[in-house]
Structures are given as structure tokens and as C-alpha cells.
Structure 1
């Protein structure tokens, strides 16, 4: 046992994950904090601006739309100017949009500010994923990307509860000012922290990136994967409140359980490097389909749903990690454009999944949603299986 430990320790020393990965984790955290913050503070925002909560959530829609459009059409600039430079510019624009959100005097100004934030996030996210693949030591790609992905856990487990608390005691505008300041800190860290640089090349059109062998089926898998997630996640809180009769605060534990599972998976990411991302992705998607079936089966029990949420987060972490690994490995010279297509697909799937699953929920109740999501995951597994490794 000692020899094994020493061997692992020596290997880890030779291929240590660069500290810059933690900077990228922080970048994901501030982006996630904005994308998840509006829901909990929407009632306070609505009261302050003299409008209704559904109207306030149009700002969230503007963020998603801006992210999708920017990622698809501007992601190619990452290949032209380099991911680090583009991430620095995007984070500065993100901080400006967040500051604009904090001082917005009307709903229309808030929507406009969140559109700016979305446009910036559409460049920042693919830049982050591209940089994660560039700095990852050989043999520890999944662990590096997994560490970066834990930024989503930070925003979900810490960012969402803190946003609600800050909004209650200091006002919702303070939330955006704090996230804006944190974004500027992240921007400075990206600028000055030492890291391996990606060489600048030529900008690739979205259509050309889509033509890279393997991109199309993996984007189909991404669309099914993300539509399933966002479609179910959007209505699980309403199910707990309306069907199970639980107070709204019960939703907080749901988010925490999912976030803890998502973050805990980072400790197992080395298994992906050991067994290979190519063969694992279809299997991971099938496991996620099984999690959705379990969610439908135990949808009447809050305790069981909490347990399922943990495993849902665990499995989704692996799915997202391996999907990014597969996409970034297809054509290193076009990583930025490919990651832009990935982010664009993700946020279009958010829109489609929320709308489509909303119609299903209205007619069939929550029980049907995880079963529909399981069907989408079977499609994702098939698409991942036929994609070249």
C-alpha cells in the first residue's frame, strides 16, 4: 500500500495541476453566481422596480440569449486572439454589465445590462474551457477540467444562498455590486497569473467549426443533455411546493445537495483519465438516464429526492467533464470556435428545455419530466456512441 501511495504521489508531483486552474475556477464561480442569482432575489427586484416577478425574469432570458449568440458568433475570436486575452476582455465587460445591473433604474435597463453580461459570458465560458484544456498536464486532463467545473458548485452552494441573504439585509443591488467586484478580481488574476499560453491563430467560422468531424453528434448529445437538465431543474422546486406541500425554503437544500454531488465528483475525475473519455461518455449518459428514472420513481418523497439530487450532480459533473474533453480534443486549432458552439448549444437548450418541459409539466405533472429527460439521455448516449473518438 505504501509503494502504491508513493507511486501516486510521485506521479502527482511530476504532473501537478497548474495553480492557474484555480483562477479559472473563480471565473466560473462569478459567471455562475450571476446566472443563478436572479431567481432567489427576483421578488425583491420586482418590488424595487415596481413590476412583477415574471417580468423580472426576462432579464434572465436576455442573459441566456446574449450568451448563446455571443458564444456561437464570437467564440471564433478566441482562436484568433488567444483564449487568455479574450477572457480578460470578456471579464471586464462582464463586470461592467454587472455594475450596470446594480444601478439599473428600470426593468428595461436591467434587461439591457443582463444582455451585456450574457454577451460577455458567451466569450468567457468557451475561453475558460479552452484554457483548461491548454494548461492541463498530459494524463490529468479530466482532473484539471473537473477542478475548473467546481466553480459551478461554488456558485450554487455558496453564491445562491449568499445572494438571497445579502438581498434581504443589504438590497439586491448590493448583490450585483459584490459580484461585479469579484469579477474584476478574477479579471486581474487572469491578467497577471502565470500560465501556459495558447498560440493565436486564425478565426474559424461557426459553420466551419461545425464541419469538424465529430462536432455535430457531440453537439446533439450536448443539446439533449442540457435540455434534460434545465427542463427538470426548472420545475423541481414548483413540484416540491405545489405537489408535496413543502415551504419554498426546501428548494435551498435541493440546490445544495445537487451542488455537493457535482463538486464531490471532482475527487473521482482521475478515473476518467484512467479509463479514457472516448469510451466513457455513452456509459455516463446512460447512468444519468437511470438517475432520471429513479427521480421519477421517488418523486413523492422529499428525502429520496434529496438523495437523488446528490447522485444527479455527481453524474452530471462526469457528463459535462467528458463532453468538454471530447470536444476540445477534436481540433486543437479550432478549440475556441468549437467551445463557442458548445456554449451556444447549452443556452439554446436551456431555452428549449424550459419551454418544452413546461408544456409537459402543465399537462402531465412532474412525474413525466424525469422520464422525458431519460429519453433525451438515451438520445445523448446514442449520439456520443457514434461520434468518432
Structure 2
């Protein structure tokens, strides 16, 4: 065999196209993200229609997060027994039903209950999606495949948030949930027509949902995920109020912040091939240090709206790399327990949503926004230290 033939064999996997099913997974992420981000913009209209307050309406969002975290931790391991595609299909059907219930909710209590059901479905769907992304990725294009799937979050942030407000203005908030429910059922049909995701079916499942923590490398990476996500939610949750309250900008200014972050996060997918060339092993600590540097700049730039838009764009870009490489490393630790591991990852992520929002709130109230990125720098140094462990 000639050297040319050998080189062709070695490089062929890298030229394999990203499978079309990866774009189906992108749409699935978009559906989940659209629900998680939709309530904020339409909360005033929901409160008016249901005769309650905006803070009371936002308890539905808390119910969604609680359901997602609990479901991911305790049900994610079932993905390893029944297969990722089958579990994703069941989760999407439940997701559509919960979204339909949200659209028909006659009172706040019904909306909260429906969103809790949606959270349960999302807690299974997210680890199943990440597991499938790792399974269908061609050799040498793992990062690019996962990156394509992650752009679903950009779709939900850029399109989902904007369209939800428009739909609520034109036809009422119930149509928002009806449209997302229809999209969930359409995604379920696409998943049902695919043969992907059978690799893990039939794997044994431990009685304990925390058994996957015994896999070497899982615990430090989940600790890094906790610090990473807490810093994100803790800072992002208060940018809007900072722009409106401290800089005196209209609420519409928040839309450009979400757009800047989404464009950075989605645009980073074009550079994911660099991760496949370098390899994820040594990159994650460096990426987390890069996130820390962005937070440091944000603390200084927080006095200027234009500077904040530029920093948030860079933040979205580097956060994409951080999430991508974190998922790559976690899914590679033990392919037979990918579902359980990614379930724990999703549980930690949504617990970080709660901790970041609640924990950063008193700091923001007492010292203002500029202190939050400084606190986030400390958390990202912790994340980098855990990510550097072997």
C-alpha cells in the first residue's frame, strides 16, 4: 500500500459530513430553549390574563427548572438502558403535552404544574440529546457535531425570545406555547423516523442515580460545570436590570444583549473544527481561564452599553467552546454510562441556575453589577482548577 493510500485512510474520517440527524438534535435543543426563555418576555401578558403578578408567573419558570434538575439526575440513567433515541422520543412527546397544557392553563396553578411536567421531559431530553450527539459524531468531527447541536440554544435565544414577544402581541401568550408544542411534536416525528441512538440500549442501570460519580473524572468535571454555570447565570440574570436601572436604558436594550450573546455563541460553531484538531484534553482549563478574562473585562466595561455589547459577544463565543469541550470530555469518560453522566450534568446545570440567581442577587443589591463579574472570575478559576485534574 502506498503512502498516499495510507494517508487517505487516516484522513477520510475527518472528511465525513456531519450527519443530518445532528440538525434534528439542534431543533430539539431549540424547542427546549424556547420554552425556558419564552416566559420572561410574555410574563406581563400572562399575569394580566390570569389575574396575578409577574413574580407569581415566574414561579412557573422555577417549576420548570426544578423539574428539569430532578428528572435529569434521577431519570437520565434510564437512557443507558433503553437507548438515547427511544428516551428522547418519549421525552419530546411528554414535552409537547406539557406545552399544550401550558397553552390551555386556566389558572396560574395549572401553568406551574404544566411547566413542571415540561421540566421533567426536558431533564430526560437534554442528556439524551447530548448522548446522541456523541454517538452519531463522525470520527475526528466530534466537536463540530456537538457544536452544531449546541447552536439550538442560539436559535432559542435569538429567534425564540423575539418571536414569543411578537406572537404574544399579535395573538396572545397562549399561541406562544401552542407553537412551541407543535414544534416539539414535529421534532418527535423526525426522531421517530431515525435509526440513530441504539448503541447504548440494553446497558445495565445502577439502583443509585449517583453511581456514575464513581467513574473516574466525572466528579471534578461536574464541579467545574457547577462553577461555570453558576457564574453564567449569576451574571446574565442581572445584566438587564443593570442596563435599565443603573445605565438608564430602555428595556428594549436587553434584546440587543441577548442577540449579541446568541450571535457569539452560534458563530463559535464555525471554529469548532479547531477543537477537533487540538483535542479537548488540555483545552478546557484554558477556555475557562479565557472566560475568567472576559468577566474581568466585563467588570470594567459595565459602565458603557456599547462596551457591554462587545464583551457579551465575546462571552457567548467562549462559552460555546467551554460547553462544547465540557460535553466532549464528559461523554468520553464511559460510553456505557453516557446517559447517567449527562443526566448529572444537566442536573448540576439547572441547580447552578438556582444557586447563581439566588446567590448573586444579594451581592448585586448591595454592591451593584460591577462586583458580579469579579465574583464570576473567582468561580471560573475554581472551574479551571477542577478541569485541569486528570
Note if contact 1:296-1:370 (Cα within 8 Å) is conserved in structure 2.
yes
Question: Partner of 2:388: helix, strand, or coil?
Answer: helix
Q: Deviations over 1:151-180 (max 9, x none)?
A: 000000111000001001110000000000
Q: TM-score, normalised by structure 2?
A: 0.96
Q: Deviations over 1:169-201 (max 9, x none)?
A: 110000000000000000000010343532311
Aligned to 1:4: none
Note if contact 1:20-1:194 (Cα within 8 Å) is conserved in structure 2.
no
Q: Deviations over 1:271-298 (max 9, x none)?
A: 1111110100000000000000111111
Q: C-alpha separation between the residues in 2 aligned to 1:94 and 1:47? A: 25
Aligned to 1:376: 379
- Residue 303 (str. 1) matches residue 295 (str. 2): no
Q: C-alpha separation between the residues in 1 aligned to 2:237 and 2:189? A: 34
Higher mean C-alpha deviation, range 169-178 or range 189-198? 189-198
Unaligned runs of 5+ in 2: 1-7
Note if contact 1:167-1:173 (Cα within 8 Å) is conserved in structure 2.
yes
Note if contact 1:70-1:119 (Cα within 8 Å) is conserved in structure 2.
yes
- Residue 289 (str. 1) matches residue 301 (str. 2): no
- Residue 40 (str. 1) matches residue 41 (str. 2): yes
Unaligned runs of 5+ in 1: 1-6
CA drift of 1:16 comes to 1.2
Aligned to 2:196: 195
CA drift of 1:303 comes to 0.3
After superposition, residues 21-60 of structure 1 pair within 5 angstroms as 21-60=22-61
Find the partner of 1:220 among 220, 223, 246. 223
Q: C-alpha separation between the residues in 2 aligned to 1:86 and 1:293? A: 41
After superposition, residues 333-344 of structure 1 pair within 5 angstroms as 333-344=336-347
CA drift of 1:115 comes to 0.1
Q: C-alpha separation between the residues in 1 aligned to 2:109 and 2:92? A: 23
Q: Deviations over 1:47-82 (max 9, x none)?
A: 000000000000000000000000000001000100
Note if contact 1:75-1:123 (Cα within 8 Å) is conserved in structure 2.
yes
Aligned to 1:67: 68
Aligned to 2:145: 144
CA drift of 1:238 comes to 0.1
Q: C-alpha separation between the residues in 1 aligned to 2:14 and 2:357? A: 45
Aligned to 1:82: 83
Note if contact 1:166-1:175 (Cα within 8 Å) is conserved in structure 2.
yes
Q: TM-score, normalised by structure 1?
A: 0.96
Note if contact 2:84-2:128 (Cα within 8 Å) is conserved in structure 1.
yes
CA drift of 1:12 comes to 7.4
Aligned to 1:266: 269
After superposition, residues 159-170 of structure 1 pair within 5 angstroms as 159-170=160-171
CA drift of 1:207 comes to 2.1
Q: Deviations over 1:98-120 (max 9, x none)?
A: 00000001100000000000000
Q: C-alpha separation between the residues in 2 aligned to 1:278 and 1:206? A: 26
Q: Deviations over 1:9-53 (max 9, x none)?
A: x85784111100000000000000000000000000000000000
RMSD: 1.1
Question: Partner of 2:295: helix, strand, or coil?
Answer: helix
Q: C-alpha separation between the residues in 1 aligned to 2:218 and 2:297? A: 31
Note if contact 2:14-2:139 (Cα within 8 Å) is conserved in structure 1.
no
After superposition, residues 245-256 of structure 1 pair within 5 angstroms as 245-256=248-259
